[in-house]
Structure 1
Amino acid sequence: MSELYTPNRREDPYLQPLPQQAAHRIQDDAEAIEIARILARDFAKEAAERDQQRRLPIAELNAFSQSGLWGITVPKVYGGAEVSYRTLGEVIKTIAAADPSLAQLPQNHLAIVDHIRLDGSEAQKHRLFGLVLEGVRFGNAFSERKSRTVAEFETQITPDGEGFFRINGQKFYSSGALLAHWVPTVAVDSEKRPFLAFIRRDAEGLEVINDWSGFGQRTTASGTVLVNNVRVSADQVLPVHQAFERPTAAGPISQFLQAAIDAGITRAAIADTQEQVRQFARPWLDSGQEHAWQDPYSLQQIGDLHIRQRAAEAVLDLAADAIQSAVANPNEDRVAAASIAVAEAKVLTTEAAILATNKLFELAGTRSTLEEYNLDRHWRNARTHTLHDPVRWKFNIIGNYYLNHIKPARHPWV
């Protein structure tokens, strides 16, 4: 990999060297889940402190990508475990319950792995999947701050001689880009078709600025990406527009990963709510109870949260199954069914995350607002991450699908 990357080419405190040794190669679904659980126990230890200090999880991120979990969706024919989407969801939920910022870091990486499968040539698949399995991390430079809609891009890709292109533009909301090894960047050609250019993190003309100031998901290594006349070879460019010109599960997969993170936030919020109620909350004076955990209204609310969590995760599993079917045999009906199932899961995981992170304070009481606990990070993370796309539009496409038999549009936000 040394010929692809020069980690000390310039002064950049965030520039990460390539792994000194290849990442662990996960063999199956059970191993993926077990490794996620082991990592989550470690990631949870300083999650609150990292959030308070906006301290980037560099050591944790290296352990995460070196664990092999960033390569579990690589197809078996290219050396990956090709785990089920149920397993992928469980891995993301497990990490998100420990630290949702860490869980968001591979969100776009995993979506890109799917685009390699869908849009890459055989040569690109062998090369790029090989990088993933070695532990190389893909960040992203997709969204733009000034475009009219999230799907309209001003970043340009133009031919530059035989077999090369130039990329120019500015990106924001670039989760993972700061600490990535490569920064795949979406740019449009003269016909407004989007392409994905794989740019080395240390490439001449690429600058990643650590200016993400969101009140939640604080340590996602996000911010502004400046792409100034960066030159890339044709073999580093994918025609990602093709994935949406035919029925594929690219959109549902992207949305599924987001819903899994929100489900993990819900898990964490409920767990901390229960701990606060057991350890610190006082019973209300009119309850006649000795302990807060005996309060009948608290019991009712905890029960309600668990029901909503269970329902959200069950529908997320159904969405995983629908994606699995659409990937195995893609057609208009299966892809539409996957999009709808994921939309249903996205509604439920969003509502559960917002409710659980809000109820934490109601049930745990005023003590839970003390800065020393930093429990407000759960609400801040849920509120921030669930803003990726408007859930109100999920209701619309779901209703239109069932009532009028109208299939949802094909793009990364459905």
Structure 2
Amino acid sequence: MPTAAALTADTPPERLVAFRAPPLRAGKAHIIKDDAEALAAAREVAARIAETAIERDRERRLPYEELDWLSDAGLLAITVPKAYGGAEVSSGTLAEVIALLSAADGSIGQIPQNHFFILHALRLEGSEEQKRFFYGRILAGERIGNALSEIGTKTAQDHNTRLSKDGPVLRLNGRKFYCTGALFAHWVAVVANDDEGRSTISFVPRQTPGLEVIDDWAGFGQRVTGSGTTTLDNVEVHPFSVISLKAVFDRPTSMGPVAQIMHAAVEAGIARAALAETLSFVKKHARPWKDSGLDHGYEDPYTIAGIGEVKIRVAASDALLERAGRFSDIAVADPTVETVAAASVAVAEAKVASTEASLLAGSKLIEFAGSRATQTQFGFDRFWRNARTHTVHDPVRWKYRAIGDYWLNGINPPRHGAI
């Protein structure tokens, strides 16, 4: 089996234990070279995904094939740095790719978020050896699922899962939930505290003995994200597969803004799609209220005004998302206390706007389209359900406070992945 490259005479003894990687993913993934190609590929794949979105949601049909489309198109490697053969797209392009996929299917748009989150942590904290190895696997189309959050801890950012030394190797023990994408992954990124209480990320091959991914996600929205349980029973981990998560937030880095802009992009995409369905359905099918004296539903002045409001909210969400991308790129290029804080606030503003736009657009779609729009054949309820489910990932009410404190009192937001 293949081993990690570049182990030298200077390699610490604990690293000399053979690192055995699973076989490389079968099939050939396209290598995307720049932002324009990434956006073109996203539009093409999103169009295919949209064709079966209603049935996939209704039947809870897990998107194994669709995730292979993303891998084959090279879309899961677009953030790999150019020095390692990737496109290294801008934060704005990454957000737009997520939004395009989310407009096609909100569940599929969410799945790559943690994949890219982990890749950014690798960029910030990985060794040269780790980057060469794992970026190479990603360029081959391999996918990373997450095992980050847990149920039953004091907060969603606390972890009972442990990574402990066992001679020359390490062992993972714990239980995770909200493991988005783990069912479809080649690698599961597990967050755990080490023997000194420091937060770490371990890259664990999906088929490793002792690691079990359970399909028990039963949310009323985002139904096919695979966000269920992962259990870890004495799972062996090689030190080569571990990076520090603690270090990512101990200093000013772009980790928080990059993580959060993708969440905002999921909601922005859902909002766009709900608005597009509203316009199409109202034009074709909505009937006027009998007291209006009008011939067509699209002539109703209240419907017209309401759609105007939704359009403004969606456009504002898109504009703030694009602006947040520019701030995030500054933080990526020059991570200081000031640039990271400014990017975090800009992304928080985009997240507030996308949350409100997606919930409004999903609800108003049913209201303006009328009773016929509630028929399950149209699947219009999925927009609000997906938005409502995804938007509780972290509370927007705290973002309002962080934004206000920054602009009014000059207080920087906390450095973590949820602001």
Unaligned runs of 5+ in 2: 3-19
The question of whether the paired residues in 2 share the 8 Å contact of 1:350 and 1:386 is answered with yes
Matched residue count: 402
Measure how far apart 1:5 and its partner are: 2.1
**Matches of 1:178 and 1:222, distance apart in 2:** 8
The question of whether the paired residues in 2 share the 8 Å contact of 1:22 and 1:133 is answered with no
The question of whether the paired residues in 2 share the 8 Å contact of 1:109 and 1:139 is answered with yes
* RMSD of Structure 2 on Structure 1 (CA): 1.1
TM-score of the superposed pair, with normalisation by structure 2: 0.94
Could you say which residue in structure 1 is the equivalent of 2:359?
354
Aligned pair 1:109/2:115, yes or no?
yes
The question of whether the paired residues in 2 share the 8 Å contact of 1:75 and 1:81 is answered with yes
Aligned pair 1:67/2:84, yes or no?
no
Counterpart code for 1:106: P
**Matches of 1:315 and 1:191, distance apart in 2:** 40
Measure how far apart 1:404 and its partner are: 1.2
Q: Deviations over 1:346-387 (max 9, x none)?
A: 000000000000101110011111112121011100000001
TM-score of the superposed pair, with normalisation by structure 1: 0.95
**Matches of 1:57 and 1:235, distance apart in 2:** 31
Measure how far apart 1:169 and its partner are: 0.3
**Matches of 1:251 and 1:22, distance apart in 2:** 32
Q: Deviations over 1:188-211 (max 9, x none)?
A: 023321100011100010000000
Unaligned runs of 5+ in 1: 7-17
Deviation larger for 246-255 or 281-290: 281-290
Partner of 1:5, secondary structure, is coil
The question of whether the paired residues in 1 share the 8 Å contact of 2:331 and 2:340 is answered with yes
- 2:261 aligns with one of 253, 256, 272: 256
Could you say which residue in structure 2 is the equivalent of 1:12?
none
Aligned pair 1:147/2:153, yes or no?
yes
**Matches of 1:297 and 1:35, distance apart in 2:** 39
Could you say which residue in structure 2 is the equivalent of 1:92?
98
Measure how far apart 1:253 and its partner are: 0.8
Aligned pair 1:22/2:39, yes or no?
no
Q: Deviations over 1:188-236 (max 9, x none)?
A: 0233211000111000100000000000000002200000100111000
Aligned pair 1:124/2:141, yes or no?
no
The question of whether the paired residues in 2 share the 8 Å contact of 1:47 and 1:98 is answered with yes
Q: Deviations over 1:299-328 (max 9, x none)?
A: 111111111111111111111101100010
What pairs up with 1:395-410 in 2 under 5 angstroms?
A: 395-410=400-415
**Matches of 2:213 and 2:90, distance apart in 1:** 33
The question of whether the paired residues in 2 share the 8 Å contact of 1:182 and 1:200 is answered with yes
Measure how far apart 1:255 and its partner are: 0.7
Q: Deviations over 1:253-294 (max 9, x none)?
A: 111100000000001101111121112210111222211111
Q: Deviations over 1:227-255 (max 9, x none)?
A: 01001110000111101000001011111
Measure how far apart 1:295 and its partner are: 1.3
Measure how far apart 1:88 and its partner are: 1.0
Partner of 1:286, secondary structure, is helix
What pairs up with 1:10-409 in 2 under 5 angstroms?
A: 19-162=25-168, 164-409=169-414
The question of whether the paired residues in 2 share the 8 Å contact of 1:272 and 1:360 is answered with yes
**Matches of 1:386 and 1:64, distance apart in 2:** 24
**Matches of 2:128 and 2:382, distance apart in 1:** 43
How high is the sequence identity, in percent, across the aligned residues? 51
**Matches of 1:116 and 1:207, distance apart in 2:** 24
Deviation larger for 282-291 or 49-58: 282-291
The question of whether the paired residues in 1 share the 8 Å contact of 2:165 and 2:195 is answered with no
